[in-house]
Amino acid sequence: MRRLPQGPGGPRWGSPRHLPSCSRALLLLLLGGCLGVSGAAARSRRPNVVLLLTDDQDEVLGGMTPLKKTKALIGEMGMTFSSAYVPSALCCPSRASILTGKYPHNHHVVNNTLEGNCSSKSWQKIQEPNTFPAILNSMCGYQTFFAGKYLNEYGAPDAGGLEHVPLGWSYWYALEKNSKYYNYTLSINGKARKHGENYSVDYLTDVLANVSLDFLDYKSNSEPFFMMISTPAPHSPWTAAPQYQKTFQNVSAPRNKNFNIHGTNKHWLIRQAKTPMTNSSIQFLDNAFRKRWQTLLSVDDLVEKLVKRLEFNGELNNTYIFYTSDNGYHTGQFSLPIDKRQLYEFDIKVPLLVRGPGIKPNQTSKMLVANIDLGPTILDIAGYNLNKTQMDGMSLLPILRGASNLTWRSDVLVEYQGEGRNVTDPTCPALSPGVSQCFPDCVCEDAYNNTYACVRTMATLWNLQYCEFDDQEVFVEVYNLTADPDQITNIAKTIDPELLGKMNYRLMMLQSCSGPTCRTPGVFDPGQSLTMPLLEHGPVVVSSHGQCKQMQPLLTASDHLVLNAKDSTRKVLYSS
């Protein structure tokens, strides 16, 4: 029988993965492994899990529209989450959050560079051994399979090269660095394999589909499995399969209310965009929008092949399938041509579809969820005791199974550290220092002080976003998404100062949270206390409209806000 090549972290004869059932069950018990593991019969009943991850697929601007098969095979057969968010709108920090179940301030991956901890030696040493796939493999006896884009700097020489295979993966087919469709190199369990530009053997989305099907056919049938398939689509360079390159010819980027308008009352980076956009920029983003949809058609084919193979092998009914993206994307919103990295819904909101045992079909959940919840959910499915982890997220399993009277969060944290050096771009001397990701007409998508933290709140009476920037202004943006879903009007100067104060305090709490403290009641939860601690030092800063000014750096864990019960005076104190 043909076998898949085994990774360095995979099973070896004589290792715990190949002990007799009773011995292995005892070993797992001694290690504090997954609950309910006892022998081959119990293992066969534990569900399998598949996680499908796309790259830069938005939810707000119709990113799921081309995926008719995916919506039918996963969404309509299970649950669609209408309020799924990422804690950072950039590939590497977001992927790190998926793997660790942690907010960026806890896994310390802040951008797509080695210096930003993306696949760095530090990441490999501290975080990789504690990712949920590593726990599944070592503590729960799952076969683990990875195929596709891992982290943006994976395979870099200073990160151990392609020889590095993260702990916990039985089978490893990882792309070197960032998304490509042709002319790329894969690490096949630590050995490099180059691919060219022959569609029939090299198109990456199809290659990922084929190796995934091979895994399903030739894996061990005595152990449950976890698969993570991470496609390049719809990330640039947006190279569609030949059969799809003429589709969507009449499609343009959505002309919604925030398309090609000036970002009034927003952070300076948004205000610097030229409005109206040049005709060349509009043509470019419309073309990008079409090509993004075209690349997703191959993802749709991958999903169909995977589901059919699971069904053919008799494993579909015992398999959870998750479908999501690492971040959203924009095409022309607030006159920014194309990218992510911003705090707005189009960049931080993503698709999330799940099917599996115990999930009723055609369900839609409005619960506020984040990608830090994926790790805890999958470990919960495997029967692992979540109290043994340091994850910030919450298990979605009770929601998936239709639990009633469920206590759930009302807010999540979004945080991002801007990229760029504190120097002026010589091609755009009129712009402030530190810009990056600039287009030829000097519209820049990022800057070193595009560094912000937000509380995204969804409660019975409130649908709000509160954000603070780490810049000289300590600029604040607040949006009421019930009245203003396109986030056109920043209400920071007009909102009730007491409410602004509560959001400010909650942001500080979330920025310093870890594990269980990330799941404490939010501002609008019934259990939230209005008693807030007072710092013993630091100056008071009060503005006429209740907005903090001249505070540098961004508010941290040592910062506290006080609401004086007698005169409702808002006082913000910060460490000197």
Residue 522 CB-density burial (10 A; 0-12 exposed, 13-18 middle, 19+ buried): buried
Q: Tell me the one-letter amino acid at 116.
A: G
> Residues 6 or more apart from 115 whose CB is under 8 A from it?
none
**Contact between residue 437 and residue 339 where contact means Cβ atoms under 8 Å apart:** yes
CB-based contact 152:49 (threshold 8 Å)? no
Q: Tell me, what DSSP letter sits at residue 317?
A: G
**How far is it, in rounded angstroms, from Cα 474 to Cα 466?**
13
CA 434 to chain centroid, in Å, comes to 25
Q: Using omega within 30 degrees of 0 as the cis cutoff, is the peptide bond preceding 516 cis?
A: no
Q: Does residue 513 carry a catalytic annotation?
A: no
Cα 75 versus chain centre, distance: 19
Q: How far apart are CA 152 and CA 121, in angstroms?
A: 14
Whose tokens are 């095979």? That residue is 73
Per-residue CA distances from 425 to 116, 409, 431 (Å): 21, 42, 8
- Give just the sign of the alpha carbon dihedral 423, 429, 431, 437: negative
Catalytic residue among 34, 91, 513, 548: 91
Residue reference for tokens 């607040």: 478
DSSP-based helix, strand, coil % in the chain, nearest 5? 30, 20, 50
Catalytic residues: 91
